[in-house]
Chain A
Amino acid sequence: MHLRAWAAWLVSVLFVALSTRNPLYLTVVLLIALIVGSHGARLRNRPAVLWPARLAMVIIPFSGLFNALTVHIGDTVLFTIPGELPLLSGPITAEAVVYGSINGLSLTTVIAVFGVLSAAAPAHYLVRAAPRAFQSIGVTVGIALSFIPQTMRRLRDVREAQAVRGHTMRGLRDWLPVWVPVLMGGLEQSMQLAEAMVARGFGATQRRDVPARARLWVLTGLSLVLAGFLLSLSAANPFIGLAALAAGSALTVIGVWQSSRSSPHTSYRVIPFTPFDALCAGVSLAISALIALPFSPLAHETLSYTPYPTLSMPGFDPLIGVLMWGWLMPLLRRRLPCDN
């Protein structure tokens, strides 16, 4: 899918994942993230994305245990830690265990949703998607991404060469004869790369500096953001501050956009934004709007859940559950956009 479609999918799923504390919905979102992430990885000939499941197995029990040991609130007392131990002494309740576990589940779900983007969108898509204003930064990131495999190869080669010479790795100090050649090799390579870039004309054309007008927009925008923050935190009516925040954000984006316009740029291959991408983005955003926004006809009050003061079953609206599976739409895409 096009990166903009992935961005819409990500925002949509995250919006709901961050809005709900209901473990049933969170579990559905986590499952969807695992399925979509694995599909994206399969398209890139990579193994299925299962690490969030493994992460969940560690984070959820840990969060539950930590919360139970430090928060002694709730009606269902499992046992009591006697004595005067700071933080720990007091009743251990089932509610605290469940609340902590939901915290862990929520965190794992957010990480898994972001993991979908890492699994499904190759890193060079992200670099290509960078606005023209970040051209030099984009080139730097591009160089870094393409040099990572070479650096790993160099590390392996140096280790093998040192091993052949009889060098053994017993402690940290033994890594010095490996680290220095790897670093020097990288620096030497950057020298050659810089010469090759100059030879190919990098920076040969008249470089246009960021226009003063764009800088002025950015500075005004950021000043408004700063003022908005301070106003929102201190004023009786925080909405004035929020308005300043929104206006400042818009001005900053305009400044960056103007800076982009002044950067000459050509594309070797443009990844098209297809009707399928538009449909996928639209459907994803519509699902999150239907589920989480207040005007929704669905039982969106089931999104909130707290086990305190007495443990109870979380509510579940089957319609919301069914709608969520609409986020599986990226599965209909059978190949990467660059294969078009």
Chain B
Amino acid sequence: MAAREFASGNLLAESGAGINVSRPVQSIAAQLKLALSAGIYLVTTLIGVLIFLYPFLTGATPQTSQLVSSPIVLGIAISLCLAALAVESQGQALSAKIVALLGVLIALNSVLRMAETALPTPGGFTPVFLLIILSGYVFGARFGFLMGALSLLVSALFTAGVGPWLPHQMFTAGWMGMSAGWLNRLWSQLSPTRRGELAALIAFGVVWGFLYGAIMNLWFWPFQAGSPDQSYQAGLSAGDTLQRYAVFYVATSLAWDVFAAAGNAVLLGVFGAATLKALRRFRNRFLFEID
């Protein structure tokens, strides 16, 4: 049985392992494929980080910054990264179970986002991150990335949320789900009995409540016109730029993100344990295969 093969919890990475449990020595072609795949993940992550963090690079002059950082160039670059990641994640052979599970969880998350749009919620409070964090935590980093990115895509189609900000939202939410998968690995090493797991998830949710807002601000901050002490100006040192961004963040987003962070904490505290139990139960059912 292959069920034990999935004990690590990374559903996508392990999919297909049921065919052959013992791993033979990999051929050169397989090793090449693996190396290319790892290279694509690495380069797309680097481009994604660069797209968000380029304002803090010291080399940018007003001319070069204006040329490279136009919304169209950045939008094309981040869309290419998402396309490459989408193709690559499919190369890992998405089974019918994973496709169905992902589809249904994304539908559930889209309904949560619609409810958030329809009902008045305070500040950045949103229930969307609950399932992204928990499914990434239970099913692994790659599943979490797809869950985050596709949840934002599908719910945007229903809530008129399609816009130049969408690829950035998809990338950031994908990172959130991916890092939730890493948290699982980290926590299983720190605490093999999984004690304090929910507290760790709540802390993770609080951090991402602020981080999501702080990262998403960066896609438009360089183009935002405003007070000189909180606006982006190419050519400044990284420290000065960071200081200006910090002022901008505190003035415009901190109060909003406090609600997002508190919302994540409350939702994970109230619904986290029951949701984790349900997801784990179904993970075991999903992964049960007979060779």
Contacts and interface: CB of A to CB of B under 8 A. Distances in A.
A233 B150 contact: no
A190 B157 contact: no
B103 A225 contact: no
Interface in A185-226: 186-187, 189-191, 193-195, 197-198, 202-203, 207, 209-210, 212, 214-216, 218-219, 221-223, 225-226
Contacts of B199: none
Interface string A101-126: 00100000011001101110001001
A31 interface: no
Contacts of A117: 162
B47 A226 contact: yes
B205 to A, nearest CB: 15
A222 B44 contact: yes
A46 to B, nearest CB: 12
Interface string B89-103: 111011111011111
A245 B96 CA distance: 37
B84 A144 contact: no
A155 B68 contact: no
Given A123-B157, A222-B84, A187 B101 contact: yes
B33 A212 contact: yes
A222 B103 contact: no
Interface in A247-277: 249, 252-253, 255-256, 259
Interface of chain B, main secondary structure = helix
Contact of B102 (A115, A140, A184, A235): A140
B154 A144 contact: yes
Contacts of B111: 148, 151-152, 155
B83 A141 contact: no
A176 interface: yes
B240 interface: no
Interface in B235-291: 251, 266-267, 270-271, 274-275, 278-279, 282, 285-286
For this complex, into which size category does the number of interface residues on chain B fall? 35 or more
A238 B104 contact: no
Nearest to A117: B162
Contacts of A325: none
Interface of B: 29, 32-33, 36-37, 39-40, 43-44, 46-47, 50-51, 54, 57, 59-60, 63-65, 67-68, 71-73, 76-77, 80-81, 83-84, 86-91, 93-97, 99-108, 110-111, 114, 146, 150, 153-154, 157-158, 160, 162-164, 225-227, 230, 251, 266-267, 270-271, 274-275, 278-279, 282, 285-286
Given A18-B71, A190-B103, 20 more contacts: A70-B226, A119-B160, A136-B94, A137-B146, A143-B103, A144-B107, A144-B154, A147-B103, A151-B110, A152-B114, A155-B111, A186-B105, A186-B108, A194-B286, A203-B93, A209-B93, A215-B91, A226-B46, A242-B67, A252-B84
